[in-house]
A = this chain, B = another copy of it.
């Protein structure tokens, strides 16, 4: 199990993750989480809104980091370059591979958590689109960049937490961003270098 930040908050988060995996998310109560963490239920509710929200505790922070990175990209950076800056910022946060793997297993185990995750992703996409629009990027260009860039975000995450991976999120994301540029380059007309035998499996 992951070693998190010390204190009641960290112990609660770790206890919850353990219980979700042992008994299932639906079968775990706040009372059980508090008990395992050695705190009262009141303490639980001082730190988290409920047992579901604690799994999405970092979402707002992550979104803000990405929005700030898009906003702070150089003025002459294109929309996908700005998203690249956001992915670099994510790389500084997605560093605890064990924790992210465990969390994803919990999410995957429960339909209501998957739904919540989808909503968070949608919000993130909207926020980044708005950040690009604020840079003066046109509506269509912003939307297209976000679809493509959020794709890099998710594929990088899946690659990062895959069994056996040891590379950093930042490295994977940067590589995939380059690959996105590669696959979106016209292959006809300018027959530079078609996407031959690249087995990224």
In the complex, the chain B residue whose C-beta lies closest to that of A75 is B194
Contact A181 B187 (CB under 8 A): no
Chain A interface, >50% SS class: helix
The interface stretch among A46-54, A100-108, A141-149 is A141-149
The answer to the question of A92 belonging to the interface, with a C-beta cut-off of 8 Å to chain B, is no
Contact B81 A186 (CB under 8 A): yes
Give chain A interface residues in 181-199, CB to chain B under 8 Å: 181-188, 194-195, 197-199
The interface stretch among A9-17, A62-70, A132-140 is A132-140
Contact A201 B186 (CB under 8 A): no
The answer to the question of A151 belonging to the interface, with a C-beta cut-off of 8 Å to chain B, is yes
The answer to the question of A59 belonging to the interface, with a C-beta cut-off of 8 Å to chain B, is no
Which residues of chain B have C-beta atoms less than 8 A from A95's C-beta? none
Distance in Å: Cβ of A88 to nearest Cβ of chain B: 14
The interface stretch among A19-27, A32-40, A152-160 is A152-160
Contact B195 A184 (CB under 8 A): no
Contact A194 B172 (CB under 8 A): no
The answer to the question of A200 belonging to the interface, with a C-beta cut-off of 8 Å to chain B, is yes
Contact B183 A141 (CB under 8 A): yes
Distance in Å: Cβ of A166 to nearest Cβ of chain B: 12
Query: Do A188 and B77 form a contact, CB below 8 Å, given A151-B148, A182-B198?
Result: yes
